[in-house]
Homo-oligomer: A and B are copies of this chain.
Amino acid sequence: MAKKVVIIGAVALGPKVACRLRRLDAEAEITLLDRDDRISYGGCGIPYYVGGDVNDIEDLCKTTSHTLRDAAFFKNNKGVTVMTRTEALAIDRRDRKVLVRHLDTGEEEYLPYDKLVLATGARAVRPPFPGADHPRVLTVSDLHDAERLKSQMAAGKIAKAVVIGAGAIGLEISEALTDLWGISTTLVEMEDQVLPTLLGKCIARLAAAELTRHGVELLLETKVLEVAENEENGKLLVRTSAGNLEVDVVVLAAGVRANTSLAREAGLAIGTYGGISVDRRLRTSDPHIYAGGDCVEVRNLISGENIPMALGSLANRQGRIIATNINGGQSHFRGTVGTFCLKLFDFGIGKAGLTFRQARETGYDPVYAVVSQADHAHFYPSSELIYISLLADRKSRKILGIEAAGKNGDAVKARVDTVAVLLRHGVDVDEICSLEIGYAPPFASAMDVVNNAGNALDNILAGGSRPVDAADFLYEFRHKTVRVLDVRGEKEATPFMAKYGERWLNIPQDQLRRRVEEIDPEEELFLLCDTGPRSYEAQVFLASRGRMKTRNIQGGFAMIRLIAPDFV
């Protein structure tokens, strides 16, 4: 008899399970249901729809060959039954059936299943401040709010906006509002950096600088206390710990939470972080029920913790695995290393693994190196800088994470991805130094930026390089009297000497050997060059001449001029 498979949730994982299962099993009776009328869409495309890169919302619901993935599509192309506007109310695990309500008619019925798949996704968190449920406090985790937001902008009704939450969605939406629509946007974040769960401070500062450069007002360490409507002018008054803002719309991007009420009520195991617990075959605690996507917890392969991870890419991979297993196969989802990327105005940003803070919380002794280097051979005409922060455990030398940013987003992502895919294999610093990625001058350097990130970290671990973050240098330089030794050429150093006088010492690298006696062995010095290698070399040389009190500014001036454009 044909197997009955019911899938609850029809956005990303659900349709993937349905289509893959159909290809494996021509006879199975597959039913895909969703509360919404919009199904099978690229949710990660919403910010691009809002920002205008994607014109029509239906473009997010189409196949590569421009066919709308609606119920008829699933029926005719896939042989899959779709029920939209159908809500799953309860799971009867003993009799293996799901009680559903058809929202348009109010009718209820039981759908029997042999295997059930929970693809219930996640929903936007609404923080508990008064006014969080105001109708003009929009979330953009569903298409309907996104449509509302875009139509209001298109109607010219929005001049000012507040975005709450500087996570990925918050950043993407801030760009969307600012870039195409020219809306004066303030981004409010409780933590002291953007992308606090995704990036360490160093690359986060680059992201913050990119927001600022494009006119987004960024309020860090700021809490939203209340949203209220000003009855006189109809504006929204946003009270924050940093003062009040009057705007036309508030976009809430304070994270998402797994939708698990159905699973909970059915008595399925729920994890510590609120997602459905699944094994490596993506089965819940009931062997007839699978779950995947934003509603489950997955193992972080670096920290060992099980956490929810709301990413369309994981949902798709998991969907394929669930279909294989429902069909009697043995396919495993082993976990995630948290690979992530983001476009932010002219920057691509990527990361994988743990941040410095997460690594320390996990019990590692993390050390990181920051490098800046051109993505392509420096003599090749088209090249852009890439900034990489590479994190390892001091003792084991095991790589714990990588973060990167730069203007050539494909090239940034490439460097992150090559390290990301190795993380689960337990890669160490030395392997990154020799990492064998393709080389040709139009696409890389002979010693690529990712190799040099490994080399820089190796030098730090070996004790030869004693680094300081560019931001920490800026803080100390502004608040203390420590001087800079600039080993760049005279021409590069002159404007700095003019501005900072005696605090800015310039000895070009090619003069350092003969002028070393000019440097007091007891003086603390910050060493600076363009991107870092020459200041490191100077540090090593100075140490060999008894001048040990130097710190090498990681990423060099290439980093400083991004995070502190007014420094010179």
Interface, chain A (partner B; CB < 8 A): 12, 16, 19, 23-24, 26-27, 42, 44-45, 48, 53-54, 59-60, 62-65, 67, 72-73, 76-77, 79, 311-317, 320-321, 331-334, 336-337, 339-343, 348, 350, 352, 373-375, 377-381, 408-411, 413-414, 416-418, 420-422, 425, 430, 433-444, 446-448, 451, 455, 464, 488-489, 509-511, 513, 529-531, 534, 536-537, 540-541, 544-545
Contact = CB atoms under 8 A, between A and B. Distances in A.
Most buried by B among A27, A317, A436: A436
A435 B314 CA distance: 10
B339 A443 contact: no
Contacts of A332: 430
A79 B540 CA distance: 13
A24 B410 CA distance: 35
7 contacts: A42-B446, A76-B513, A316-B447, A320-B455, A417-B417, A420-B437, A421-B422
A561 to B, nearest CB: 15
In the assembly, how many copies of this chain are there?
Answer: 2
Contact of A443 (B64, B409, B545): B409
* Interface of chain A: mostly helix, strand, loop or mixed: mixed
Contacts of A437: 313, 339, 413, 417, 420-421
Contacts of A455: 320
Contacts of A337: 436
A523 to B, nearest CB: 20
A446 B340 contact: no
B343 A440 contact: yes
B530 A65 contact: yes
Given A54-B380, A64-B378, A417-B418, 12 more contacts: A45-B379, A64-B374, A77-B509, A77-B537, A79-B541, A321-B434, A336-B436, A339-B439, A350-B438, A410-B410, A410-B414, A421-B436
A147 B443 CA distance: 24
Given A379-B59, A513-B76, A339 B436 contact: yes
A440 B342 contact: yes
Contacts of A409: 442-443
A341 B438 contact: yes
Contacts of A420: 418, 436-438
A392 to B, nearest CB: 16
Contacts of A435: 421
Contacts of A48: 379-380, 441-442
Given A509-B77, A537-B23, A446 B12 contact: yes
A509 B22 CA distance: 14
Nearest to A534: B65
A441 B313 contact: no
A60 B414 CA distance: 25
Contacts of A19: 537
4 A-B pairs with the lowest CB-CB distances in the bound complex, closest first = A26-B544, A341-B438, A414-B414, A313-B439
Nearest to A301: B436
Contacts of A530: 64-65
Given A418-B417, A534-B65, A379 B60 contact: yes
Contact of A410 (B16, B375, B510): B375
A397 to B, nearest CB: 12
A462 to B, nearest CB: 9
Contacts of A447: 16, 313, 316-317, 320
Contact of A488 (B44, B65, B311, B544): B65
B45 A377 contact: yes
Nearest to A465: B23
B531 A64 contact: yes
A54 B379 contact: yes
Contacts of A331: 430
Nearest to A62: B379
A416 B418 CA distance: 9
Nearest to A342: B440
A417 B544 CA distance: 38
A42 B377 contact: yes
A392 B455 CA distance: 32
Contacts of A65: 488-489, 529-530, 534
Nearest to A24: B464
A443 B377 contact: no
Nearest to A64: B378
Nearest to A492: B65
A79 B413 contact: no
Nearest to A404: B438
Contacts of A333: 434
